Structure 1
Amino acid sequence: MPPKGHGRGKLPVPLPRDMILKDTEGKVWRLGSQIGQGGFGLIYLETVVFLMHFVILSLFISQQEYLENGPLFSELKFYQRAAKQEHIRKWMNLKKIRCLGIPVFWGSGLAEYKGKSYRFMVMERLGEDLQRIFEDCGSRFKKETVLQLGARMLDTLEYIHENEYVHGDIKAANLLLGYTNPHEVYLADYGLSYRYCPNGNHKQYQENPRKGHNGTIEFTSVDAHKGVAPSRRGDLEILGYCMLQWLCGKLPWEQNLKDPVAVQTAKTKLMDELPDSVMEWGSSGSSCSKCA
């Protein structure tokens, strides 16, 4: 069952390097060095152990959090249902595509250390995030790059949506290049993912002002501003805002990010006046025209 709310926000005490972890399917993993952390958990390199012989290359990472925390639990449910290697390969064969931007899930389990219970998840190791590359490129991508990224993300979102989930937090910081192939791009961080259609039963549209403005403020959907649960159309809207920023260098509401209502109003206006609103933004003050 899901963890309770207490304990949220507490980063766990780091687990020691070379600690052996055993997942729920009996695979054994050797913990490597810590390479990062999220809002609630730590990220480590991992090597898988077969008969106590260690793989030389660290092509896996693991995320850990205290058992009572919640974000990794939510992310784990998506990976267990939709990110196993056989499911991804089956979809790629069906769609005749060479890459699908879903990190492969390899295992999960529980561990004990110094009297505390930890949850861990092992997944495919990925490379540099797109946000860093975007900033290194002067916060602007060429039109061809934006279109290629959009097409890759549409393939990825189609798979996610077909598996009854939505992502809810698409942005350059959550797009990572492949570790072994930097020409591939993956959508990561499913902490805000939402199962919109469990067992074929579509959840009803319902506005809830108390849950308004959820997600990353500059990209989140108009529905999310109203407190509506994440949706497929919301994912597409968020992707559209990302592509607009990548192409133009900025978004019309970036100067108002501390005022969620002002951001919501600006997004609503942009969406209501498509496509003229985007064309006008591209020709006044932004650098879209230089990228086209």
Structure 2
Amino acid sequence: MPYKKATAGKRAPAKRKLAELFGLGEVLTDTSRKEWKLGVPIGQGGFGRIYLADANSSKPVGSDAPYIAKVEPSQNGPLFTELKFYMRAAKPDEIHGWTKSHKLQYLGVPRYWGSGLHEKNGNSYRFMVIDRFGRDLQKIYEENGKKFSHKTVLQLGLRILDILEYVHEHEYVHGDIKASNLLLSYKNPNQVYLVDYGLAYRYCPEGVHKVYKEDPKRCHDGTIEYTSIDAHKGVAPSRRGDLEILGYCMIHWISGHLPWEDNLKDPDFVRDSKIGCRDISVLMDKCFPDKNKPNEIAKYMEKVKLLSYEEKPVYQHFREILLQGLKAIGQKDDGVLDFGLSENGDLQTKPTQKKKRKAADKKAAAAASEDTEAEMEVTGSPEKKKPTTAFSKSKGCFHSHMYWCGRLTLGRDKTPTQPLTPLLSGTEGGNRMSKLMVCFGEIEDLMGRLFTIYCCVQNRFK
């Protein structure tokens, strides 16, 4: 029987202001009186901006800065919501203690380093400093033909279960697990982190679980293709919802398909399709019609279906199901994610591409000598833009892979949003330019990858 359609109207979005652009070297002081120096802005979204950041010193913030600072007007709500989670659950000592006590190699939760308020030009801004990361899995998924290997998916599932157990034990649920919210470590491509806690919900404040209640005003919260049946009905997020979302992600990553993906503009259709697929055999037949079905995923989804709204999952049981799946395909949990990535999450160049790349490098250098103008983006880590889905709505903080990797865009008049002369002047600047031209040649060779690089033609800014 189809679920009754919600009749309540949409809530009007709150009016918010965009944060002004801070200059290089701006110093922010957090609530513990620690000072943080800002580097180049690497992205903006929603109503906030993201900057490279480091502890304050006499040195400028380099392109390899280990932190990012998220800044938005203090009257805005998204960062405040996310900040509450980080302050309660993501302090470095707490994450370290959990990792050690649970005998984990690492825990994929970003560490919170500080936050505070900053006054500038008569305006008040809220900021938060957390770890910097590499590329997001959505980009890699698309570059891999919208599929991951069976082994990789099961290992991702194991790491995400570790994350969810930690988050849930700290009275929160994430509510928006998906590839674009899963980022590789900036240094280690075998480590994955769950980011964007703008939809994080405190389901069990002071140990008292929220009651099951359907609210038409909250119907379909989250990312439509993955969100839980509870969320489709307007029920507040819970632990079982997070595990259900993870299940849909794993199915999508292995099969490249979800039964409702062609009708994402109709959230009621998506909801009814998911309800119809509570018969897990139906779901598996639709997603794997001509292939051997991954039995461990079916077992995982069956176990999720048995959870009650307030029930605490036995996370180890879910991990054992995925470990059995690895064993069934002759693999083990070796901690290696076979994305073919190098340091900082960048795709490795195949050996067969080297000759072509050298030729492209020469061509790029010749073009530079002729003062060819380039319309580019300046970024700290190569990436390409992700196509957006109309109803893949994630409310809350300004989030996107671009904010974590490092990105600065040129304005419509082809001038940077702040001077780049210090980055490109002198001998060191010349060396940078040479390296950037090599990167540009590689972009030509790789065609559709649309990587962006730190590059401006010197004569452009003299």
Q: TM-score, normalised by structure 1?
A: 0.92
1:119-169 CA-to-partner distances (Å, cap 9, x unmatched) read 000000111011000001011101001001000000000000000000011
* Structure 1 partner of 2:95: 88
Q: Distance in 1 between matches of 2:201 and 2:88?
A: 12
Q: Tell me the amino acid that sits aligned with residue 146 of structure 1.
A: V
1:165-192 CA-to-partner distances (Å, cap 9, x unmatched) read 0001111010000001111000000000
Q: Is the 8 A contact 1:248 1:288 kept in 2?
A: no
Say which of 255, 258, 261 aligns to 1:251: 258
Return 5+ residue gaps in structure 1 as ranges. none
Q: Distance in 2 between matches of 1:285 and 1:18?
A: 57
Report matched runs for 1:231-270 at 5 Å: 231-270=238-277
* Structure 2 partner of 1:64: 71
Q: Tell me the amino acid that sits aligned with residue 282 of structure 2.
A: S
* Structure 1 partner of 2:213: 206
How far the C-alpha of 1:38 sits from its partner, in A, is 2.6
* Structure 2 partner of 1:131: 138
Say which of 146, 159, 174 aligns to 1:167: 174
- SS state at 1:258 partner: coil
Q: 1:79 to 1:165 in 2, by over 3 A?
A: same
Report matched runs for 1:1-292 at 5 Å: 8-49=15-56, 52=58, 57-270=64-277, 272-274=278-280, 276-284=281-289
Return 5+ residue gaps in structure 2 as ranges. 1-11, 295-328, 330-462
How far the C-alpha of 1:201 sits from its partner, in A, is 1.3
Q: Is the 8 A contact 1:249 1:288 kept in 2?
A: no
- SS state at 1:239 partner: helix
Paired residue total: 283
Q: Is the 8 A contact 1:29 1:46 kept in 2?
A: yes
Q: 1:17 to 1:285 in 2, by over 3 A?
A: farther
Q: Is the 8 A contact 1:249 1:286 kept in 2?
A: no
Q: Tell me the amino acid that sits aligned with residue 189 of structure 1.
A: D
Q: 1:55 to 1:116 in 2, by over 3 A?
A: closer
Q: 1:35 to 1:54 in 2, by over 3 A?
A: closer
- SS state at 2:56 partner: strand
Q: Distance in 1 between matches of 2:156 and 2:134?
A: 16
Q: Distance in 2 between matches of 1:23 and 1:281?
A: 51
Q: Distance in 2 between matches of 1:13 and 1:92?
A: 38
RMSD: 1.9
Q: Distance in 1 between matches of 2:22 and 2:115?
A: 16
Q: Is the 8 A contact 1:7 1:68 kept in 2?
A: no
Q: Is the 8 A contact 2:133 2:185 kept in 1?
A: yes
Q: Is the 8 A contact 2:39 2:61 kept in 1?
A: no
Q: 1:118 to 1:7 in 2, by over 3 A?
A: farther
Q: Is the 8 A contact 1:18 1:32 kept in 2?
A: yes
Q: Tell me the amino acid that sits aligned with residue 256 of structure 1.
A: N
How far the C-alpha of 1:55 sits from its partner, in A, is 7.0
- SS state at 2:36 partner: strand
How far the C-alpha of 1:23 sits from its partner, in A, is 0.5
- SS state at 1:180 partner: coil
Query: Which structure shows the higher strand fraction?
Result: 1
Q: Is the 8 A contact 2:25 2:61 kept in 1?
A: no
Q: Is the 8 A contact 2:37 2:61 kept in 1?
A: no
Q: Is the 8 A contact 2:38 2:61 kept in 1?
A: no
Q: Distance in 1 between matches of 2:81 and 2:292?
A: 38
Q: TM-score, normalised by structure 2?
A: 0.59
Q: 1:40 to 1:250 in 2, by over 3 A?
A: farther
How far the C-alpha of 1:6 sits from its partner, in A, is 8.8
Q: Tell me the amino acid that sits aligned with residue 282 of structure 1.
A: C
Q: Is the 8 A contact 1:30 1:48 kept in 2?
A: yes
Q: Distance in 2 between matches of 1:106 and 1:252?
A: 41
Q: Distance in 1 between matches of 2:260 and 2:14?
A: 35
Q: Is the 8 A contact 2:39 2:60 kept in 1?
A: no
Q: Distance in 1 between matches of 2:134 and 2:43?
A: 13
Q: Percent identity between the aligned chains? A: 54
Q: Distance in 2 between matches of 1:215 and 1:286?
A: 30
- SS state at 2:98 partner: helix
How far the C-alpha of 1:28 sits from its partner, in A, is 0.5
Q: Distance in 2 between matches of 1:125 and 1:65?
A: 18
Q: Distance in 2 between matches of 1:286 and 1:224?
A: 30
Higher RCO structure (Cα 8 Å, ≥6 apart): 2
Q: Tell me the amino acid that sits aligned with residue 278 of structure 1.
A: L
How far the C-alpha of 1:84 sits from its partner, in A, is 0.7
- SS state at 1:122 partner: strand
Q: Tell me the amino acid that sits aligned with residue 248 of structure 1.
A: S
- SS state at 1:65 partner: strand
How far the C-alpha of 1:107 sits from its partner, in A, is 0.3
Q: Distance in 2 between matches of 1:133 and 1:288?
A: 24
Q: Distance in 2 between matches of 1:9 and 1:152?
A: 36
